[in-house]
Structure 1
Amino acid sequence: MTHLLATVTVPLVTAFDREGRPDPEGVARLLGHVAEGGISSLMLLGSNGEGVAVETAEVGPYVAAVRERWARLAGPSGKVLVAVSGPATRQTLARARAALDAGADALVVNAPYYFRHTDEELLDHYGRVDALGGRWIAYNIPRYTGNPLGPQLVGHLAALEHCAGVKDSGGDPAVLAGFVAHAADRPGFAVSQGAESAMVDGLLAGAVGITPGLANLAPGPCVSLLTAVQDGDEPAARDRQSALDRLAALHTIRPGVAATKAALALLGLLDGPAAVPAAPFRPYTPDENARLSALLHASAELLPGGR
């Protein structure tokens, strides 16, 4: 059976309504776009999805609504993973239960944020998640949590009953190699590369899939990069990586989710409140949008409609 992570997983942006509540209808066109690009797996409410801006009580209804729409678009192969970010174990567990009750195929669980924790404390945290009984993926994103997941800790996590793998957005090749070594020792445990600039390198190092934010904009090219690596065509994969790196320059204007949402608005995939990042982020200014439009035009071959 193909592993849950052995694919391109889109860390989907979250649309919000005028009151700042997550709005599943706001991502309808975007879901159709990524499905047409060959995507079967979504990750909701991660860093790219502004998950920490979503209240715990809003998680279940939002996940259920997006999952229902995604099932119609992606069919039986469609999967919905849900990131459950919390500053401490209690909040993480509440979000995890809500996501599982709403039909999430797996949880994506980062370390708690704000306070710094020992590896022993982090192992306790993940053990409580494992006790819920649903499949889950560890999520290493230390620039946001301040709590890196190292290879030694992930080795302990991989031994937990319901841990299916790790998504690594840390960007350290040595750490990724340590995660891959654990995957080699445990059937059913796998690694997804979350660092966009190192997708090919991560796959060649042993990651089975990728989770690039750029897949919101250019799902097809991300799928073709993965396919090229799987087919052993490294030159084609490197060419695709270079093209996607040029598109990733949109983050040199003003980085982060505001850039992605502004690009999706220019492409006609988000509009109105759905294209506005959660406060205190500010939308792009007219000058930033003009620079972004020129950058998107230079990457037209990767984008819908050949923009």
Structure 2
Amino acid sequence: MRLPVPLGGVVPPLCTPLTPDGDVDVRSLGALVEHVLAAGVDAVFALGSSGEAAFLTDDRRRTALRAVVEAVDGRVPVLAGAIDMTTARVQAQARAAAALGADALVVTAPFYAGAHPAETADHFRRVRAGTDLPLIAYDIPPAVHSKLTPAVLLPLVEDGTLAGLKDSSGDLGALRRLLVALRERGLDRTFAVLTGSEPAADAALLAGAHGVVPGLGNVDPAGYVRLYAHARAGRWREATTEQDRLTALFALADTGDPTAMSAGSSALAGFKTALHLLGVIACPATAAHPRGLPEESVGVVRRLLGEAGLL
């Protein structure tokens, strides 16, 4: 499927449901795809951070992406994470994703070994040269230990290397400065800027972002579809009301025991526990914590779902 130019709307970064043994639960993944498509999302993103791509073997990554492509069946574009430590490894992931039917690739800067901005730019150009698929840069400084600045991004937009950006930096000020720079150059009409900040999606959309990539959108995709529709129509009071409800629901990401799991692990466990309680997936296990949340935390997630009108 041809990617819209620029890509916009709501693009959930799909969780990857797992069995208790850690294999990809293909049936539950198909059910999750139907859950988000029924809400009216504009595309889906497989093998991102919410999809636990870093925890999956290459075989499991391919199983997950194949299942998503088959379940979507051409109804919306499928973005695939080609996320790895070095350019050569990313190129291999990109080839595999293209062969499985992805419509676009999502790629971070190189990580493990620190990359100079010039090396990061070269990395994106080399990946793009090896594929016919649109390339979306993924800015997630906590994971890759570098920030994609306008000095790196703008030349890559101007020469056609990049088709978009998924911004998970949490830095709304930097995001706004980038959006201003894109508008000044007339690049905002072709280059998509998507925010990954679930609790502040309305602010990013007000600043000019084209869409939202919310991990919480696995749980409540319809809420983000409503939020996006309000924002695009200029109904900012309604958008703020919806954002406030979603921000309250986002508290489920903080239900894990901070003495036993990281904030990222807690968020994934919260999302999957919510999906399990909603009957979308069969097992709430995450790769890092296969036993899932303790019962007390499950109760908190259940309460939050009820307060959000989902249970």
Question: TM-score over 0.5 for the alignment?
Answer: yes
Q: Which runs of 5+ in 1 are unaligned?
A: none
Matches of 1:87 and 1:258 in 2, distance apart? 25
**1:282 CA displacement:** 4.6
| Structure 1 counterpart of 2:120 | 122
| Contact kept? 1:142, 1:170, Cα under 8 Å | yes
Matched residue of 2:193: which SS?
A: strand
Matches of 1:249 and 1:222 in 2, distance apart? 16
Determine if the alignment matches structure 1 residue 194 to structure 2 residue 196.
yes
Matches of 1:193 and 1:158 in 2, distance apart? 17
**1:281 CA displacement:** 5.9
Determine if the alignment matches structure 1 residue 294 to structure 2 residue 293.
no
Matches of 1:182 and 1:59 in 2, distance apart? 36
| Structure 1 counterpart of 2:48 | 46
Query: Structure 2 residue aligned with 1:90, among 80, 88, 91?
Result: 88
Determine if the alignment matches structure 1 residue 154 to structure 2 residue 150.
no
Determine if the alignment matches structure 1 residue 111 to structure 2 residue 109.
yes
| Contact kept? 2:20, 2:290, Cα under 8 Å | no
Determine if the alignment matches structure 1 residue 79 to structure 2 residue 90.
no
| Contact kept? 1:258, 1:281, Cα under 8 Å | no
Matched residue of 2:286: which SS?
A: coil
Query: Structure 1 residue aligned with 2:277, among 266, 273, 287?
Result: 266
| Contact kept? 2:29, 2:67, Cα under 8 Å | no
**1:86 CA displacement:** 0.6
Deviations 1:138-183 (A, max 9, x none): 0101111111111211112213434111010111122212332343
**1:81 CA displacement:** 0.2
Q: Which runs of 5+ in 2 are unaligned?
A: 257-265
| Structure 2 counterpart of 1:29 | 31
Matches of 1:62 and 1:262 in 2, distance apart? 19
Identity of aligned residues (%): 33
| Contact kept? 1:168, 1:193, Cα under 8 Å | yes
Matched residue of 1:256: which SS?
A: helix
In the superposition, relative to structure 1, how do residues 107 and 228 fare at CA in structure 2: closer, same or farther (>3 Å)? same
Matches of 2:229 and 2:195 in 1, distance apart? 15
| Structure 1 counterpart of 2:97 | 99
Matches of 2:62 and 2:273 in 1, distance apart? 27
Matches of 2:240 and 2:228 in 1, distance apart? 11
**1:116 CA displacement:** 2.0
Determine if the alignment matches structure 1 residue 171 to structure 2 residue 170.
yes
Matches of 1:245 and 1:200 in 2, distance apart? 11
Structure 1: which amino acid aligns with 2:298? Answer: N
Matches of 2:172 and 2:138 in 1, distance apart? 16
Determine if the alignment matches structure 1 residue 256 to structure 2 residue 267.
yes
Instruction: Count how many residue pairs are aligned between Structure 1 and Structure 2.
Output: 296
| Contact kept? 1:59, 1:98, Cα under 8 Å | no
| Contact kept? 1:258, 1:282, Cα under 8 Å | no
Structure 2: which amino acid aligns with 1:139? Answer: Y
Matches of 1:277 and 1:114 in 2, distance apart? 23
Matches of 2:285 and 2:67 in 1, distance apart? 20
Query: Structure 1 residue aligned with 2:64, among 55, 59, 62?
Result: 62
Determine if the alignment matches structure 1 residue 279 to structure 2 residue 288.
yes
Matches of 1:2 and 1:99 in 2, distance apart? 19
In the superposition, relative to structure 1, how do residues 175 and 282 fare at CA in structure 2: closer, same or farther (>3 Å)? farther
Matched residue of 1:10: which SS?
A: coil
Normalised by the length of structure 2, the TM-score is 0.90
Normalised by the length of structure 1, the TM-score is 0.91
CA-atom RMSD in angstroms: 1.8
